[in-house]
């Protein structure tokens, strides 16, 4: 039986992360409190501010390091599942056998088990490098690896304009970490008739999307039921990751890129961007968006 989807905005992290900050810095759920000098209208005040955590996170498959990325240290098992599937390290969710994260003061590691028949291909594609927070294609060695995923998505959902804009309005209130720090991206899974079902946050837009994908995979959710709403731009890698796992509708609050539009057109994915409370622009496959 598929697990129930977690509530939107579930930080999921925190008991294991509490107390993991550096000396003199108060730790919280993927955020820390720091002492600052705040200058406003000519006056300076010694006070506190809350900032998002950003740590090196290593993904290790069967004891073999694959990639180190900078990420927000919450929902790391979701990140591992989403990354493994969206990067096509496995062909289907059932080939991910498990993931377990461990946390140190200044780093984290996720140990992932996959089907052994996939392991030789993973070794050939090892990306032993440190990836920047915003990195999408870091470590890709060939053009074929970079521009992949040429399949087409399924029928996908029918989304009314009212449902789309209700989610656009709602997502801000469903990002607790961004509300307290102002520095993280969000990826929300929206099901027509139900609204936002879950949200994942991270300092990296790709990581936020992979966390949301991973949460859906772990819950056994149907990727054709809803659409992904992201607070970032719609870059090629974001569209590619969504299409790879069968998500047929992506809406971004910021701009798309030309390559993202081309990939959306080729894969059959509906791409909406520049989404605001009272406007949006549809760049590819508008048939899923209904009045």
N- to C-terminal Cα separation, the chain: 35
Boundaries of every domain in the chain: 55-146, 159-290
Mean pLDDT of the chain, nearest integer: 86
What pLDDT digit, counting tens, does each position of 243-266 carry?
Answer: 999 999 999 999 999 999 999 999
Q: pLDDT class for 149, splitting at 50, 70, 90?
A: low
Sheet holding 279-284, edge to edge: 195-202, 185-191, 227-230, 249-252, 270-276, 279-284
Tell the CATH superfamily of the 159-290 domain.
Cytidine Deaminase, domain 2 (3.40.140.10)
- Which helix (H) or strand (E) covers residue 36, if one does? strand 31-40
Cβ–Cβ under 8 Å, residues 52 and 184 = yes
Q: How far is CA 62 from the centre of its chain?
A: 23
Cα 114–152–143 angle (5° rounding)?
70
Q: How far is CA 270 from the centre of its chain?
A: 18
Q: Which of 11, 29, 135, 264 is catalytic?
A: 135
Q: How far is CA 113 from the centre of its chain?
A: 20
What pLDDT digit, counting tens, does each position of 155-207 carry?
Answer: 999 999 999 999 999 999 999 999 999 999 999 999 999 999 999 999 999 99
pLDDT of residue 123: 84
Cβ–Cβ under 8 Å, residues 201 and 185 = yes
CATH of region 55-146, choose from 3.10.180.10, 2.40.110.10, 3.10.20.10, 3.40.640.10? 3.10.20.10
What pLDDT digit, counting tens, does each position of 23-80 carry?
Answer: 223 334 678 999 999 999 999 999 999 999 999 999 999 999 999 999 999 999 999 9
- pTM, two decimals, is 0.85
Secondary structure (3-state) at 59? strand
Q: Report how far residue 135's alpha carbon sits from residue 70's, in angstroms, rounded to the nearest whole number.
A: 9
Q: pLDDT class for 86, splitting at 50, 70, 90?
A: very high
Q: For the chain, how long is the longest CA-to-CA vector? A: 64
Tell me the H-state helices in 147-272: 161-170, 176-181, 205-219, 236-244, 258-267
DSSP structure class, residue 176: H
Cβ–Cβ under 8 Å, residues 252 and 272 = yes
Q: Report how far residue 183's alpha carbon sits from residue 277's, in angstroms, rounded to the nearest whole number.
A: 21
Q: Report how far residue 137's alpha carbon sits from residue 124's, in angstroms, rounded to the nearest whole number.
A: 16
Cβ–Cβ under 8 Å, residues 226 and 192 = yes
Cα 78–89–29 angle (5° rounding)?
20
Q: Report how far residue 119's alpha carbon sits from residue 122's, in angstroms, rounded to the nearest whole number.
A: 5
Is residue 138 annotated as part of the catalytic site, yes or no? no
């Amino acid at each position: 039986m598929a697990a129930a989807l977690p509530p939107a905005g579930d930080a999921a992290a925190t008991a294991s992360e509490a107390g993991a900050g550096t000396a003199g810095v108060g730790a919280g759920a993927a955020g820390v409190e720091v002492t600052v000098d705040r200058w406003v209208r000519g006056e300076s005040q010694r006070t506190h501010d809350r900032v998002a955590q950003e740590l090196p996170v290593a993904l290790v498959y069967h004891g073999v390091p694959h990639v180190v990325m900078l990420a927000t240290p919450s929902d790391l098992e979701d990140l591992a599942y989403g990354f493994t599937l969206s990067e096509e390290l496995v062909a289907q969710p059932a080939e991910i056998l498990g993931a377990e994260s461990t946390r140190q003061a200044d780093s984290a590691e996720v140990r992932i088990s996959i089907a052994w028949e996939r392991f030789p291909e993973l070794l050939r594609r090892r990306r032993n490098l440190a990836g920047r927070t915003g990195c999408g294609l870091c470590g890709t060695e060939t053009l074929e690896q970079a521009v992949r995923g040429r399949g087409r998505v399924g029928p996908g959902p029918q989304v009314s304009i009212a449902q789309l804009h209700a989610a656009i309005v709602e997502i801000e209130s469903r990002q607790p970490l961004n509300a307290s720090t102002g520095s993280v991206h969000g990826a929300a899974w929206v099901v027509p008739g139900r609204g936002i079902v879950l949200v994942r946050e991270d300092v990296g837009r790709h990581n936020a999307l992979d966390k949301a994908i991973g949460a859906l995979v772990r819950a056994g959710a149907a990727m054709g039921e809803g659409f992904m709403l992201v607070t970032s731009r719609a870059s090629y890698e974001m569209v590619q990751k969504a299409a790879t796992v069968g998500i047929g509708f992506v809406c971004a609050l910021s701009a798309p890129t030309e390559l993202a539009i081309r990939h959306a057109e080729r894969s059959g994915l509906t791409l909406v961007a520049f989404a605001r409370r009272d406007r949006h622009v549809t760049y590819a496959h508008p048939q899923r968006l209904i009045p």
